[in-house]
């Protein structure tokens, strides 16, 4: 499964939220995106997605960066903090509102449930001046080809929904921020966990509607303690050990189907993994159950 984006050099990224320390599931996403970028002689960037203050843990962003360094996952260029991009997000929203490509919505979750669980455009005709802001979804992408997982499809209802790009509490929505930041950084391929695979259709819709270059998408299997229960900061997954990175690094490589060498140091192991990286060895299931790392 080769990478192809015309003549554009490869640019990948890892984009954690600072809601806690780096755990084994996050390490898999970081390592997978790093190996993909470095094996293609590309750039690997880090972005801290700090636009949801209620979920953030003080000091977590710096702790994540120090953990990446301890594992030898050194990034290119300066770290991009989403919180520094608020003006850019708002400018895009203002432009969309001015052209009728976005509108305010005051529908509650209960009202949307009464619509069948998918928002039906009710507020567009009301010409409201406050509330959440929804994109007028003109592109409605319902499928894409994932580099690892193959064809991914979503329902027509999901594809056509006018989804939120700014929340009613004034915070910018993930879908808007991630698309604008990937375009801003020139990301050519997004490598991340399979929990976000369906959201890629909405992001591709925004890339097209905004006239941005679309990246490829490559989704990795999730490390799960039980079926449907991924390791996450919200589920209090145990942080990986910065002081002793070798066990977690070897386990993450094995999870991704990559060969490991006994007796190697973490730096040697990572260097060998880059040289010998095999995309086709990564399992194509969306979840893998693991023991002892929850």
From the CA atom positions of the chain, what is the Rg in Å?
20
The answer to whether 123 is annotated as binding is yes
Q: What's domain 11-289's architecture?
A: 3-Layer(aba) Sandwich (3.40)
What are the C-alpha distances in Å from 88 to residues 11, 39, 189, 209, 221?
Answer: 21, 32, 22, 16, 32
The answer to whether 233 is annotated as binding is yes
- Residue 261 is predicted with a pLDDT of 86
Q: What is the DSSP string of the chain?
A: ----BTBPPPEEEE---SSS--BHHHHHHHHHHHHHHHHTT-EEEEEE----GGG--TTHHHHHHHHHHHTT-PPSSPPEEGGGGHHHHHHHHHHHHHHTSEEEE---HHHHHHTTSS--SGGGGGT-SSSEEEE---S---EEEETTTEEEE--HHHHH---EEE-TTSPBPHHHHHHHHHHHHT-SEEEEEGGGTTHHHHHHHHHHHHTPPPPEEEEEPEEEEETTEE--TTTTPPBP-TT--HHHHHHHHHHTT----TT--HHHHHHHHHHT--GGGS--SSEEE-SS--
User: For the chain, what are the domain ranges?
Assistant: 11-289
The answer to whether 192 is annotated as binding is yes
| Residue 1 pLDDT > 50 | no
**What tokens were used for 26?**
């996050």
**pLDDT tens per residue across span 181-232:** 999 999 999 999 999 999 999 999 999 999 999 999 999 999 887 554 566 5
| Residue 294 pLDDT > 80 | no
Of residues 280 and 1, more confidence is placed in 280
The answer to whether 17 is annotated as binding is yes
- Residue 292 is predicted with a pLDDT of 43
CA angle 88, 89, 92 (to 5 degrees): 85
**pLDDT tens per residue across span 31-83:** 999 999 999 999 999 999 999 999 999 999 999 999 999 999 999 999 999 99
The answer to whether 119 is annotated as binding is yes
Judge contact between 14 and 46, C-beta under 8 A: yes
**pLDDT tens per residue across span 78-104:** 999 999 999 999 999 999 999 999 999
Nearest-angstrom CA–CA distance, 96 and 134: 10
- Residue 180 is predicted with a pLDDT of 98
| Residue 4 pLDDT > 80 | no
The maximal CA–CA distance of the chain, rounded, in angstroms, is 67
Residues with Cβ within 8 Å of 201's Cβ and at least 6 positions away in sequence, in order, are 141, 142, 143, 144, 152, 154, 158, 159
**What tokens were used for 95?**
């432009």
The answer to whether 13 is annotated as binding is yes
Mean pLDDT of 260-273: 93
**pLDDT tens per residue across span 132-175:** 999 999 999 999 999 999 999 999 999 999 999 999 999 999 99
- Residue 232 is predicted with a pLDDT of 58
The answer to whether 15 is annotated as binding is yes
- Residue 293 is predicted with a pLDDT of 41
What is the reported pTM?
A: 0.92
- Residue 222 is predicted with a pLDDT of 94
- Residue 6 is predicted with a pLDDT of 57
| Mean pLDDT rounded to a whole number for the chain | 93
Nearest-angstrom CA–CA distance, 161 and 37: 33
């Amino acid at each position: 499964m080769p990478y192809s984006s015309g003549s554009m050099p490869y640019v990948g990224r890892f984009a954690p939220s600072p809601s806690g320390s780096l755990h084994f599931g996050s390490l898999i996403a970081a390592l997978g995106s790093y190996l993909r970028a470095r094996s293609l002689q590309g750039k690997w960037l880090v972005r801290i997605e700090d636009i949801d203050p209620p979920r953030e843990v003080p000091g977590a962003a710096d702790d994540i960066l120090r953990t990446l360094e301890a594992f030898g996952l050194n990034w290119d260029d300066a770290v991009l903090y989403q919180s520094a991009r608020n003006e850019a997000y708002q400018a895009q929203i203002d432009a969309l509102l001015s052209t009728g490509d976005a509108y305010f919505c005051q529908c509650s979750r209960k009202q949307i449930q009464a619509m069948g669980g998918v928002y039906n455009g009710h507020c567009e005709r009301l010409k409201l001046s406050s509330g959440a802001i929804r994109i007028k979804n003109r592109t409605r992408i319902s499928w894409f080809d994932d580099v690892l997982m193959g064809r991914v499809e979503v329902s027509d209802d999901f594809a056509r929904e006018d989804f939120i790009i700014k929340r009613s509490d004034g915070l910018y929505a993930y879908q808007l921020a991630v698309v604008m930041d990937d375009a801003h950084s020139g990301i050519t391929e997004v490598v991340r966990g399979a929990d976000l695979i369906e959201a890629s259709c909405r992001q591709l819709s925004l890339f097209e509607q905004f006239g941005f270059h679309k990246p490829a998408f490559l989704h990795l299997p999730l490390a799960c303690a039980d079926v449907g229960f991924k390791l996450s900061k919200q589920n209090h997954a145990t942080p990986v050990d910065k002081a002793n990175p070798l066990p977690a690094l070897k386990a993450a490589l094995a999870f991704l189907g990559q060969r490991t060498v006994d007796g190697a140091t973490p730096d040697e192991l990572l260097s060998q993994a880059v040289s010998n990286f095999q995309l086709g060895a990564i399992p194509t299931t969306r979840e893998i159950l693991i023991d002892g790392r929850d």
